[in-house]
Amino acid sequence: MNRPVISLKKEDHEKSRALWEQVFPEDGRDFLDVYYEGKGADNEILVCKDSRQEICAMIHWNPVRCVFYGKPITADFLVAVATRPDMRRKGLMTGLMKEGLARREERKMPFVFLTPAKEAYYTPFGFVSAGKCMGIPMEPEENGEKKREERFLVRPLGKEDRAGAANSMNSWLADSGSLLYAMRDPVYLQRLQKELASEGGDLMGVFDGDRLLGTFCYTEAGGLEIREPLCGREEKEQLYDEIRCWTSEKNKEDKSRETVCISGCDPGMPGASPHSVTMIRVVSLEACVSLVKSRKRITRKILVEDPLIPANNGPFLLTLSAEGGSLKPLSRKEGCCPVRIEELTKAWFRNLFLNEAV
C-alpha cells in the first residue's frame, strides 16, 4: 500500500499524540505533556494518513547533539515508531523509514539511533545493535550495610548547578573513552529534569563540599530506577556507595521494593544484565567516514551494499587515520572487497553512552 509520507507542520505536531497514546498506552499523560512541550515541539514528525486523513503511522525524528570520535555532530534519535494496528503489514513503516533516511542523507547526517522494543524489527532497515545499558539490582540487604559519610550531600540539581554539572558530565564522558555520547548543556539538563519529574524522579548531584563528585537520575514509575550514574574514574566506587545509601533511605518505608541501577554501558558491574539496547543506522556514509579515526592508517578498496540509501552504494577507496577518514568513489569494482553497511557500522560504533529517555 503506497501512501504519501507527510512531514507535519510544527503547529500540527500535537495531532500525532492520539496515535502515540493508542500504541504506547504505558506512557502517561504527564510524560507526553512534557515531551510535546519540549522535544516534540522542535523535531520532525513524518506520518502517513488513512483515507479519512487520520494519522495511521509515524516516526518522530528528534535531533540530539552528540560527540562522535571527539567531534560535535547532530544525530536524530527515533522514537514513537508506530503504526495503528489495523494498518500494519501494509508497507507504511518502510515508506516512512526510507523517506526519513533519504532526507537525512541529503543533509549529510552521519547516522541515526534508537532504543528498540524488539531489535529484529529494525534489522531489515540496516540498524545494528551497538551498545547496551546494563541493569544492576540493588538488594535491600546490601543497601542496609552502607552508611553515608557526613561530608557528602546528595540533592537535586538546581538551575544554578546546570552549567557546571553539564561541563563536568561532558568531561567525565570524554575521559571514560566513550566514542559516542550525547552532549550535556543547561537546556539538555532542564529538559531531562522535566522528563524525570513526569515519572516521579529527578537529576541528583552528589557533592563533596562544594565539589560535584557525580550525578545520577532516578524515576519511581513502577519501582525505584537509578539511571546514568556519572563521575570521574577515581570517584566511581564512592559514587556507587552514595547511591546505595541514598537508595536505602529512599526505600526505608518499603524495603521490599525492587530497585535497579541502569548504568550507561557498564557490563563489568557485579550482577549486571542487559536492560536496553542502542541501535545505530549509518545514513551518510561519506559524512560518517570523515569522523571515524584509526590509530593505524588503513586504506581499503570496498564495494558497499546499502539497500535503502542509494548514495552509499558502489566502489570506494576508504582511508582511515588518526585525523579522520575519507571516502573516494572509484570507477571500477575490480579488486574491491564487498561489504554491507551493517558491517561498517559494527566496526565503527563501540563503547557508547547513549541512554536517551525519548
Which pLDDT band holds residue 136 (cuts at 50, 70, 90)? low
Say what the alpha-carbon torsion angle 55, 128, 121, 115 is, to the nearest 10 degrees: -60
pLDDT at 138: 62
Helix, strand or coil for residue 293? coil
SS3 assignment, position 106: helix
Domain parsing of the chain, residue ranges? 6-130, 135-276, 280-341
Choice between 250 and 329, residue whose per-residue pLDDT is larger: 329
* Superfamily holding 280-341: SCP2 sterol-binding domain (3.30.1050.10)
Topology (CATH level 3) of domain 6-130 = Aminopeptidase (3.40.630)
pLDDT at 357: 39
pLDDT tens profile 256-305: 666 666 665 454 555 555 566 889 999 999 999 999 999 999 999 999 99
- Residue 249's pLDDT is 85
pLDDT in tens, 86-116: 999 999 999 999 999 999 999 999 999 999 9
Higher-pLDDT residue of 81 and 354 is 81
Prediction pTM value: 0.88
Beta-carbon neighbour count of residue 173 at 10 Å? 19
Q: Is the dihedral of CA 116, 26, 39, 195 positive or negative?
A: negative
Provide, rounded to the nearest whole percent, the portion of the chain with pLDDT above 70.
86
The superfamily in CATH containing domain 135-276 is Gcn5-related N-acetyltransferase (GNAT) (3.40.630.30)
Question: How many whole angstroms separate alpha carbon 346 and alpha carbon 340?
Answer: 10
**What does the block give as the cell for 58?**
509515524
Distance set, CA 39 to CA 192, 264, 301 (Å): 10, 22, 41
358 band by pLDDT with thresholds 50, 70 and 90: very low
pLDDT value for 210:
92
Count of residues making up the chain: 358
Identify the CA nearest to 242 among candidates 147, 172, 144: 147
Question: Is 353's pLDDT higher than 70?
Answer: no
**32: enclosing H helix or E strand:** helix 29-37
Cα–Cα distance, 159 to 185 (Å, whole number)? 12
Domain 6-130 matches domain 135-276 at the CATH topology level: yes
Q: What is the pLDDT of residue 143?
A: 44
Tens-place pLDDT, residues 30-50:
999 999 998 877 899 999 999
Over residues 50-68, the pLDDT tens digits come to: 999 999 999 999 999 999 9
Cell of 171: 568531561
Q: What is the mean pLDDT of the chain?
A: 88
**Helix residue ranges, H only, 176-318:** 186-197, 236-250, 285-291
Q: What is the pLDDT of residue 74?
A: 97
| Structure-block grid coordinates of residue 196 | 524525570
Phi, then psi, of 333 in degrees rounded to 5: -90, -15
